[in-house]
Structure 1
Amino acid sequence: MSYLWIGVIVAALASFAQKWLGYQVPPAVLERPRIARMTALLPVALLGALVATQTLTNGPSLAFDARVPALLVAAVLLWRRAPFIVVVIAAALVAAGVRALGWG
């Protein structure tokens, strides 16, 4: 068995254990205002970090290509409360246009 498979199995077991431990937490702990606020905001923070990482990096280096203007357009449209499909199409068109102009 290779080290890769050992890592996959260990990660799967750790993930299962973490989920199981989450079910063992008493409801009174989860209902505290500070904990409730943190659990409500954690997915937003993780998604924001994922978007930033996927947009601004290319492997181990920083990248400033067509994804950045597309993300800015999407952010403005989301701020203006545009429908999600409009946001996706506009961001795709901006990225395609920027790439067609030879940048990124």
Structure 2
Amino acid sequence: MTGTAWATIAGCTVVTALIKGVGPVAFGGRDLPPRFRGVVVLLAPALLAALIVASALADGRDLHVGADTAGVAVAGVALWRGASVLVGVGLAAGITAGLRLLG
């Protein structure tokens, strides 16, 4: 890896540690108000969804729909219909690999 990549990783590590440390310092051991707690609970699923969409639809600088997009879509439908996470991951990998093999 290049020096720029390592500097980016180090910067992200420091920023993440700072962000995680601000909450306990700011609240001093007190519980979050219920209104904030509801928002914080939704942050992780929203971030995960954003990362999945960005990963499945991005190809460098351009939007791109390809085999990985189809794999994520099939897995998403399977999970929505009640399949286990292992089945969803297996479907995503299998569909993506199959479509890449054909293309």
2:44 aligned partner, one-letter code: P
Which digits, 9 at most, give the CA deviation of each residue in 1:35-92, with x for residues without a partner? 0111000011111110011110011111111011111110111111111111111111
TM-score, length basis structure 2: 0.79
| Aligned residue pair count | 98
Match of 1:97 in 2: 98
Structure 2 portions without partners, runs of 5+: none
Aligned Cα root-mean-square deviation (Å): 2.2
Instruction: Write the distance in 2 (CA, Å) between the matches of 1:20 and 1:84.
Output: 31
Structure 1 portions without partners, runs of 5+: none
Instruction: Write the distance in 2 (CA, Å) between the matches of 1:101 and 1:6.
Output: 39
Instruction: Write the distance in 2 (CA, Å) between the matches of 1:54 and 1:46.
Output: 12
Instruction: Write the distance in 2 (CA, Å) between the matches of 1:7 and 1:89.
Output: 32
* Structure 2 residue 70 is matched with structure 1 residue 69: yes
Instruction: Write the distance in 1 (CA, Å) between the matches of 2:102 and 2:18.
Output: 50
Match of 2:84 in 1: 83
TM-score, length basis structure 1: 0.78
Aligned identity (percent) is 34
Which protein is bigger by CA-based radius of gyration? 1
